[in-house]
Structure 1
Amino acid sequence: MDRLIASAQFGQQDVARQLGLNVTDLTCLGFLTEASLAGDPLVAGDLAERARLTTGAVTGVLNRLEKAGYIRREPDPHDRRRVYVVLDARAQTRLLEVYGPFYERLTALFGTYGPAELHVLTDFFVRARVLFTEESERVRTEERTDGQG
């Protein structure tokens, strides 16, 4: 499992470099892509929470992503204080250029499993994500507790 995680991290570093970004910017771009595909645009505060960044750090991320042409900011027509972060259509095309071959290979790999096996794999990934999230929160809580003592 550790090797899988390390491979994924190295892959993200390589993809970020290929896209002219750093890993944090790529992570945020991933959250924005996910929100865009769900039809649920994010505001900067939402992104900060998901990426576990301060609002100041997210402002820097958004400035870099905007300058690179991956996103744009759009004011909320009903509340001028809110600004939505919108994925630029060209960004999605660029991301697919880089990730597309990997997704094709991953789809082919999943195609080698039967329905029952896919059910187990899906269950594992869903439950493992919950476990990772819980453990991450536990570690952060211990860090805060240790830092106060």
Structure 2
Amino acid sequence: MDRMIATAQFGQQDIARRLGLNVTDLTCLGFLIEASMAGEELVAGDLAERARLTTGAVTGVLNRLERAGYIRRAPDPGDRRRVVVAMEETAQERILAVYGPVYQRLGALFADYEDEEIAVLTDWFTRARGLFEEALQEIREPSADS
């Protein structure tokens, strides 16, 4: 498991470099893609919270993503103090050009499994993610011994 996590981390660095980004920018871009696919509008403050960044740091991320042509910003029609972040039309195509081979390989791997087995794998990864999040929250909180 540790080897898979390390491989994923190194992969994110390589993918970010191919897309002309750093890993933090790529992570934020991932949150924006996730929101876009869910039909959600994401504002800068929400992105800061999801990425565990300050609003000032997110402004820098958004500046870089906008300069690179991945996103655009617009004032929130309901609250002019907030900024809605949207994906540029060409962004997904550019991202899939890099991630596509990974997704194709994963799709071929999943084709080796029956629906019931995929359900077990999905359950395991969903539950493991929750456990990781709980453990990381404990690590982030100062302990009584600190």
Q: State the TM-score, normalized to the length of structure 2.
A: 0.96
Query: Runs of 5+ in structure 1 lacking a partner?
Result: none
Give distance in 1, aligned partners of 2:120 and 2:49: 31
Secondary structure at 1:142 match in 2? coil
2:13, 2:142 → 1: CA distance? 28
Identity score, percent:
70
Deviations 1:5-56 (A, max 9, x none): 0000010000000000000000000000000111101111100110000111
Write 1 or 2 for the structure with the bigger share of helix: 1
DSSP-derived class of the 1:89 partner: coil
Structure 2 equivalent of residue 91 of structure 1 = 91
- Please report how far the alpha carbon of residue 83 of structure 1 lies from its aligned counterpart in structure 2 after TM superposition: 1.1
The residue correspondences of 1:134-145 to structure 2 (distance < 5 A) are 134-142=134-142
Question: What residue in structure 2 maps to residue 102 of structure 1?
Answer: 102
Q: Indicate the residue corresponding to 2:129 in structure 1.
A: 129
Q: Secondary structure at the match of 1:137?
A: helix
Report how many residues are paired: 146
One-letter amino acid of the structure 2 residue matched with residue 7 of structure 1:
T
Distance 1:28 1:109 in 2: 27
Give the letter aligned to residue 58 of structure 1: V
Q: Which amino acid aligns with 2:38?
A: A
- Pairwise mapping of residues 1-149 of structure 1 onto structure 2 (< 5 A)? 1-142=1-142
Distance 2:136 2:121 in 1: 22
Which of 36-45 and 134-143 deviates more? 134-143
Superposition TM-score, scaled by structure 1 size: 0.94
Higher relative contact order (CA 8 A, sep 6+): 2
How far apart are residue 117 of structure 1 and its match? Answer: 1.1
Secondary structure class of the residue paired with 1:112: coil
Runs of 4+ aligned structure 1 residues displaced above 3 Å come to none
Deviation at 1:119, TM superposition (A): 1.2
Report the Cα distance in structure 1 between the residues aligned to 2:135 and 2:53, rounded to whole angstroms.
18
How far is the alpha carbon of 1:78 from its aligned partner?
Answer: 2.3
Name the aligned partner's letter for residue 125 of structure 1.
F
Q: Cα distance, 1:116 vs. partner?
A: 1.8
